Amino acid sequence: MAASEADAAAAAPLPHDALARICSFLPPGDVVFAASRLDKALAAALAPRVADVRAEMAAATDKSRYDELVWCTLFSIPPWALQEAWPQLTQRQRQRAAARAAFHGDLTVLRWALAELDDASALCCKAAAGGGHLEALQCALALGCPWGEATCYAAARGGHLAVLQWARAQQPPCPWTKETCYAAAKGGHLAVLQWACAQEPPCPWDNDSCYAAAKGGHLAVLQWAHTQDRLLVRDKETCYAAAKGGHLAVLQWARAQQPPCAWDEATCAAAASGGHLAVLQWARAQEPPCPWDEGTCGAAALGGHLAVLQWARAQEPPCPWGEETCYAAAEGGQLAVLQWARAQQPPCPWDEETCRAAAKGGHLAMLQWARAQQPPCPWDKETCSEAAKGGHLAVLQWARVQEPPCPLDKDTCFDWTADDATAEWIRVQVALEGVTL
């Protein structure tokens, strides 16, 4: 009897909270792909984590338009899930799946995927190097994946010196360009940069590396670069980058050199664009102060940095502004900034570009407010054209029902329209007016 009870206890299913706890330790890929196969209670328990992973996926998908390696940083796909989905995947999706395995050093998935691929992708070598997985890089090469400059770039970007050293030690060595040094500087990987520059011949580099170091706030990298070639650090792009990144210590160091690193109006505009008020205040407090122009107010307005704009305008003399400031606020959808700018005495000037910018971004509330002022912000046919081009049908419809309606260039709007719904609305309107397109 005791044995029977023990067997029954051993066979009893685990409580859902215990299973959920166990599943919480699974790799992200297993959680996402397995959740739909679980019963409702367990799937509900895992839902918050699945949502977090999917949010990361969405963010990476957006960024991958500019940097394909970002997609690879997501979790590696479990072998069973990849094999099941493989027949439905496009060639590009298959290559990405292999690259993700390479980035995470998942040799099992990498070998299987590359054996199934008709055309090996250079992305696998780049991904393996970016993830710092030398064995995965070696595996990808052995299975026919090509490599190139992007491989060294990815290794340097991730600070993976051993991978970079191995790649360059091959015969022939993996090619590299100045982008390798740029990547190392951007990531603050001083040891990688020093090693690359110490080779014979050295890896090429230029002031783009200093720009990257300054923007990232990597003062040690910038200081070392200064010992190698002072001319590189003197470029005004260094001060611009430091201000853009909000790195006051870097900017102060650059200006303390003899001769100081050059700066110009773009430095103040860069600080304003990021809302870095302390950087802007320090730059303007120097003797002579860092120069500024309308670009500073425009940059602050575009980014919605009202405190920066208010401080800049409170100086004696105030930072200059003009139509560009209102245009920038409208472009960025920054209604509070636009309202403040227009409430000053005298108000910040505006013109047709303000309405165009609001329409282009689909900022209907901003356009309505601008037109409700006395006198209203001027507009022209480009307001409707920009709304049509952006597919902002509600903006276009509102503009056309005003008295008098916003001017409409029917042919331009129809040619520029971004979607079928907007095109159909324009077609109906011109038909009602008895005009042909």
Which CATH number fits the domain that encloses residue 297?
Answer: 1.25.40.20
197 CB-near residues (< 8 Å, 6+ apart): 181, 203, 205, 228
Each residue's pLDDT tens digit, 162-198: 999 999 999 999 999 999 999 999 999 999 999 999 9
Domain assignment present for 358: no
Q: What is the pLDDT of residue 246?
A: 98
Helices (H), 117-197: 123-131, 134-142, 149-157, 161-169, 178-186, 190-197
Q: Which of 53-67, 120-134, 342-356 has the lowest mean pLDDT?
A: 53-67
- What is the structure's pLDDT at 437? 45
Say which residues have a Cβ less than 8 Å from residue 42's Cβ, sequence separation at least 6. Answer: 16, 19, 20, 23
* Contacts of the segment 84-87: beta carbons below 8 A, 24+ positions apart: 86/116
Q: Is residue 314 part of a domain?
A: yes
C-alpha to C-alpha distances, 207 to 99, 177, 414, nearest whole angstrom: 32, 14, 46
Question: Would residue 337 count as lying in a domain?
Answer: yes
Q: What is the number of domains present in the chain?
A: 1
In a domain, 332, yes or no: yes
Residue 348: Cβ within 10 Å count: 23
Asked if residue 359 belongs to a domain, the reply is no
Distance CA 176, CA 252 (A): 33
CA–CA distance, 162 with 157 (Å, rounded to integer): 13
In sequence order, the 6+-apart residues with CB closer than 8 A to the CB of 54 are 32
Look at residues 200, 188, 284 and name the one whose alpha carbon lies nearest to residue 243. 284
Asked if pLDDT for residue 64 goes beyond 70, the answer is no
Amino acid occupying residue 292: W
| Cα 325 to Cα 296: distance, rounded to the nearest angstrom | 9
Q: Which residue type is seen at 80?
A: W
DSSP state for residue 379 in the 8-state scheme: -
Tell me 404's DSSP state.
Answer: S
Q: List helix spans (H) across 246-334.
A: 248-256, 265-273, 277-285, 294-303, 306-314, 323-331
Please identify which residue in the block is written with the tokens 């909270």: 17
Cβ neighbours of residue 362 under 8 Å, at least 6 residues apart? 387, 390, 392, 394, 395
CA angle 227, 232, 237 (to 5 degrees): 130
pLDDT in tens, 142-161: 999 999 999 999 999 999 99
Could you give the CA distance from residue 123 to residue 201 in angstroms, rounded to a whole number? 27
State the Cα–Cα distance between residues 76 and 100, nearest whole angstrom: 6
Q: Are 86 and 78 in contact (CB under 8 A)?
A: no
Q: Does a structural domain hold residue 16?
A: no
What percent of the chain clears pLDDT 70, i.e. is strictly above it? 83
Segment 379-407 mean pLDDT: 94
User: Contact 46/35 with Cβ under 8 angstroms?
Assistant: yes
Instruction: Give dist(CA 304, CA 133) in Å, integer.
Output: 42
Among 96-105, 264-273, 413-422, where is mean pLDDT lowest? Answer: 413-422
Residue 339 in domain: yes
Separation between Cα atoms, residue 122 and residue 128, nearest integer Å: 10
Stated length of the chain: 437
Among 84-93, 238-247, 334-343, which stretch is predicted with the lowest mean pLDDT? Answer: 84-93
Domain of residue 316 covers 236-350
State residue 41 phi and psi, 5-degree precision: -65, -45
CA-based torsion, 246, 249, 250, 254: positive or negative: positive
Winning range, highest mean pLDDT, from 31-40, 109-118, 272-281, 400-409 = 272-281
Nearest to 71 by CA among 93, 49, 88: 93
Q: List alpha helices for 64-90, DSSP H.
A: 69-72, 79-85
Average pLDDT over residues 73-89: 83
Q: How far apart are CA 282 and CA 153, in angstroms?
A: 35
Q: Look at residues 353, 285, 340 and name the one whose alpha carbon lies nearest to residue 313.
A: 340
Measured from the Cβ of residue 190, the count of other Cβ atoms closer than 10 Å reads: 19
Is residue 36 very low, low, confident or very high in pLDDT (cuts 50, 70, 90)?
low
The answer to whether residue 344 is domain-embedded is yes
Block residue for tokens 């004696």: 316
